[in-house]
Amino acid sequence: MALGIAGRFDNPFKDLLGLLAVLFAILFLWFGGSEVLKHYALRTVLGASGQLPFNLPRLLNYARDLNLMQRVGSAYIFVHRRLLEHMAASGAL
């Protein structure tokens, strides 16, 4: 089925939208998007295998509320050295 010349260029916004989508995908991957995708893929695999809870921030905040962990910036540290040593010795870390 031949559309002719007029059939190819009847919707310039469609072409512009496709170009913008490709440009966005390239910029997303260039500026750290691949690391974001790897992060969520790893969390999904670890969550599906049962090695890590799906809602890890909720677990860490709960441990903080129980005074087992302390939030330092965007990281968490153990408050009690003996708890850290026990968890490390049991292979839980």
What SS3 state is found at 78?
strand
pLDDT in tens, 7-60: 555 677 888 888 899 999 898 888 888 888 898 999 899 989 988 888 888 999
Residue 80 in this model has a pLDDT that exceeds 80: yes
Vertex 15 angle, CA 11 and 17, to 5°: 110
69 CB neighbour count, 10 Å cutoff: 21
User: What is the distance between the alpha carbons of residues 44 and 53, in angstroms, rounded to a whole number?
Assistant: 9
